[in-house]
Chain A
């Protein structure tokens, strides 16, 4: 699919500074799983993508990171044009080949279809950027693991039940597994594979 020039929007206003800020935000989010972070840039996002999702894409994707898009995101020419123009990442139709996946929560395929890494190189697994309906710190889930002193509550709205179960079960395969970044509007929260999830409050 060619880039449609009418639909291109501006990326980060200061690419160097803003991608470093985004990277720092993401690093904080990954090292303290379940803490909700706010992003400041960019000001506009293409198509159905949230600002936080677009910020992660601008900061993390480049020509060396194959990207998988969920169905309706793949069909959105505004989004794919902007991803091609600003990130240059190759779009792949096969989820297992992707280093990054950008998906709407409702369209998530089975967790097992993403690259979980291999025993020699668990770091080669995929990172999922999942756009959800809402994120809050109410204790719908209880998180424990590295980066959490005792335990932390988190609610992700709009995540399919089946995917949640697969995500919880995938922790048994540690160090294999995927890292998730949940995005909604300007908020993002990260769940690395080291975080244990328990359904229900403390």
Chain B
């Protein structure tokens, strides 16, 4: 795989991640604005209609220990093909089928000429919102951080 396709893969992973974690209502609002700029809703055909199911989340203690099953989560996935032939896929948390559909549509459009528009109008605002939410959560929990000190007990 060449360097440029590696970068393309990473860029796509980033926007798929942003779309998957986006707030459904905010995604809907931003999508309506995108539609106005696109002119018409893109034509597409389903490869896999939005379908909900459960997936097992696996974790590793400390990121490197033995894998264990953390628990199951609901997930909705969707795949569709635009008129132009581009395939868009989405996997989102929860069971909002409309969210899965929009995420797959956006993924397909981001791979072709509409990339800049969707990136500017949809991905950038969603990503900054997610960053702000995370920072707010981190700073709220940082206030409650406790450092434990132990006295040296002279055992060594």
Contacts and interface: CB of A to CB of B under 8 A. Distances in A.
Contacts of B46: 10, 13
Contacts of B87: 5-6, 8
A6 B51 contact: no
A86 B48 contact: yes
Please tell me the size bucket of the interface on A. Answer: 10 to 19
A15 interface: yes
A86 B77 CA distance: 12
Given A5-B87, A8-B81, A15 B51 contact: yes
A74 interface: no
Interface string B81-108: 1000101000000000000000000000
B85 A8 contact: no
Nearest to B80: A10
Interface in B60-95: 79, 81, 85, 87
Interface in A6-36: 6, 8-11, 13, 15
Contacts of A86: 48
Nearest to A7: B87
Interface of A: 5-6, 8-11, 13, 15, 85-86
Interface of B: 45-49, 51, 79, 81, 85, 87
17 contacts: A5-B87, A6-B85, A8-B79, A8-B87, A10-B45, A10-B46, A10-B47, A10-B48, A11-B47, A11-B48, A13-B46, A15-B49, A15-B51, A85-B47, A85-B48, A85-B79, A86-B48
Given A8-B79, A15-B49, 13 more contacts: A6-B85, A6-B87, A8-B87, A10-B45, A10-B47, A10-B48, A11-B47, A11-B48, A13-B46, A13-B49, A85-B47, A85-B48, A85-B79
